[in-house]
Structure 1
Amino acid sequence: MTILELIAENYARLLEGMGRTLLLTFWSLILASVLGLIFGMMKAARGKIWHILSSLYVDVIRGIPVLVLAFFVYFGIPQGFGVNISIFQASLIVLSLNAGAYMAEIVRGGIQSVDRGQMEAARSLGLPYRKAMQKVVLPQAIRTMIPSIINQFIITLKDTSILSVIGYADLIKVAKAVIARNFEAFRIWLIVALMYLIVITVLSKIAKAIERRMTYAK
């Protein structure tokens, strides 16, 4: 069977798997952005307690491999606390926690890239810290963060492949099922690699285009 025949026979299932991969990546990044914004602002704040709490989250999550975190969330938590977690929920929690830790560093870096005088000027006009951060600092910081956020999306997209070990039906899981049926491992994995390459290349081009636009806009 030629590679074109393999694509014609299995493209619907492979595209469905890629769709699930992108869906999980999208929702994970949404939740990770919320976590990253909260903990990133905490880490950039002057309060020592906030800084310690955010550093603890970032250091712990970044220090645990995604595979170990996946096993802990999907197998460990249900056994330890007697709760039921679906494969999608476990996958979403794992990716959100992992990406959120890196997003927190992106947010912290973006906030600290804004000149301190901006915050001081806003405070001198009578704005409280939270309003000054929301209205003055964050809008400027977001401009510098967008390329890094897109790069984190790419990294999270790659990390979804690990979650096939707990049974999430992403592109990797679908590819394994196809191979089990036709034993065309070399060609199927080549097709999967090309699918990832196309998606990631498109996202990388978008990230570079946005970065150039942000540079020219300064």
Structure 2
Amino acid sequence: MTEGFDFGVIASNLPFLLQGLGLSLGLTFLSIIGGLVLGTGLALMRLSGVLPVSLLSAGYVNLIRSVPLILVIFWFYFLVPLAIGRPVGSFYSALIAFVLFEGAYYSEIIRAGIQSVRKGQSQAAFAHGLTYWQAQRYVILPQAFRNMIPILVSQGIILFQDTSLVFVVSLRDLMTTSSIVARTEGRLIEMYVFAACVYFVICFAGSLFVRKLKGKTA
């Protein structure tokens, strides 16, 4: 069934393809870190009980979640240089877009995680003289994050898949490098099968990890 196929093209272009994979993984990792920081802040703002702060957070989350990610990438690729008066490059524009986009999704996950912690925990923290922010930092968030780890990892898997959208700002991620090799070598099937296999292996491994985490937190 593989007669006429030349998978040797993968080996001959492997360094170039690994560069693309490295960009995809690096962008995923940095976006997760930034998204978690932003998402935590947004979730705490949403639950703060201060109406203007809560509405600001809710407005941001609802706005970002209503816009396609590819459009957010375009926005920051063109608008960030205009705002600061100098170019920032495709990578940093994409990273900013991913962090701001993922932060909105992570905030809802984190908000649900915080609300899943029994109210008695926060009441006990307040009884010991902790402020709202101290109670969140030392009592609520550690418990909430332990409960949220499986779904946070699942969102990270989705984020890794979404990095394929950075081709719109000329970044050479795994999908883009595979497409370049496919066109230059005239081996579309081989390269797209390779890309699909890499995405499958990484995402499937991540899903198995999520199942393991769910078993531990159950």
Runs of 4+ aligned residues of structure 1 deviating over 6 Å after TM superposition are: none
Call closer, same or farther: CA 1:81–1:131 in 2, change over 3 Å: closer
- Note if contact 2:24-2:163 (Cα within 8 Å) is conserved in structure 1: yes
Q: Structure 1 unaligned segments of length 5 or more: list them.
A: none
Q: Distance in 1 between matches of 2:167 and 2:41?
A: 29
Partner of 2:104: 101
Shift of 1:81: 5.5
Partner of 1:78: 81
Shift of 1:166: 0.8
- Note if contact 1:44-1:112 (Cα within 8 Å) is conserved in structure 2: no
Shift of 1:6: 2.2
- Note if contact 2:20-2:177 (Cα within 8 Å) is conserved in structure 1: yes
Partner of 1:56: 59
Structure 1-normalised TM-score? 0.93
Q: Distance in 2 between matches of 1:96 and 1:50?
A: 20
Partner of 1:213: 216
1:113 aligns with 2:116: yes
Partner of 2:179: 176
Q: Structure 2 unaligned segments of length 5 or more: list them.
A: none
Q: Taking every aligned residue pair, what percent have the same amino acid on both sides?
A: 34
Shift of 1:3: 4.1
Partner of 2:128: 125
Partner of 1:19: 22
Q: Distance in 1 between matches of 2:78 and 2:145?
A: 37
- Note if contact 2:7-2:190 (Cα within 8 Å) is conserved in structure 1: no
Which residue, 187, 190, 199 being the options, matches 1:187?
A: 190
Q: Distance in 2 between matches of 1:187 and 1:207?
A: 30
Show CA shifts across 1:175-201 (max 9, x none).
121022112112211110110000111
Mean Cα deviation higher: 200-209 or 43-52? 43-52
Amino acid at match of 1:184: R
Q: Distance in 2 between matches of 1:116 and 1:50?
A: 22
Which residue, 146, 149, 152 being the options, matches 1:149?
A: 152
Aligned residues: 215
